[in-house]
Amino acid sequence: MLYLVRMDVNLPPDMPAAQADEIKAREKAYAQDLQRQGKWLHLYRVVGEYANYSVFDVESNEALHNLLSALPLFPYMKIAVTPLAPHPSSIR
């Protein structure tokens, strides 16, 4: 199943820089691993915001929830999920 996911990150302003850097490094490693596995198909930055749009291909709602909740930045995110289906006018 395909999902379009918007993730908005809001780290606390008083979080020590070293802690933020460590969380971001774990986030990057996890995201890249999921991309290599073919679960995180696309990752796009939202210009001018600490946010992204991503496309995931996972087997179920529960699988997506488990994947997202394991993100190191998850406690600092607002997430919106849109399930996707093929469009009848698409040539792909």
Show the domains of the chain with their CATH numbers.
2-84 (3.30.70.1060)
Count other Cβ atoms within 10 Å, centred on residue 86.
8
Could you tell me where the beta strands, DSSP code E, fall in 11-50?
A: 40-45
Per-residue pLDDT of the chain (92 residues; tens, 9 = 90+): 999 999 999 999 999 999 999 999 999 999 999 999 999 999 999 999 999 999 999 999 999 999 999 999 999 999 999 999 999 999 98
Phi, psi angles (nearest 5°) of residue 33: -65, -45
The SS3 of residue 73 is coil
Question: What is the reported pLDDT for 92?
Answer: 84
Question: What is the reported pLDDT for 25?
Answer: 98
Entry pTM: 0.93
Query: What sign does the dihedral 70-72-78-81 (CA atoms) show?
Result: negative
Question: What is the reported pLDDT for 72?
Answer: 98
For 78, residues 6+ apart whose C-beta sits below 8 A from its C-beta are 7, 8, 10
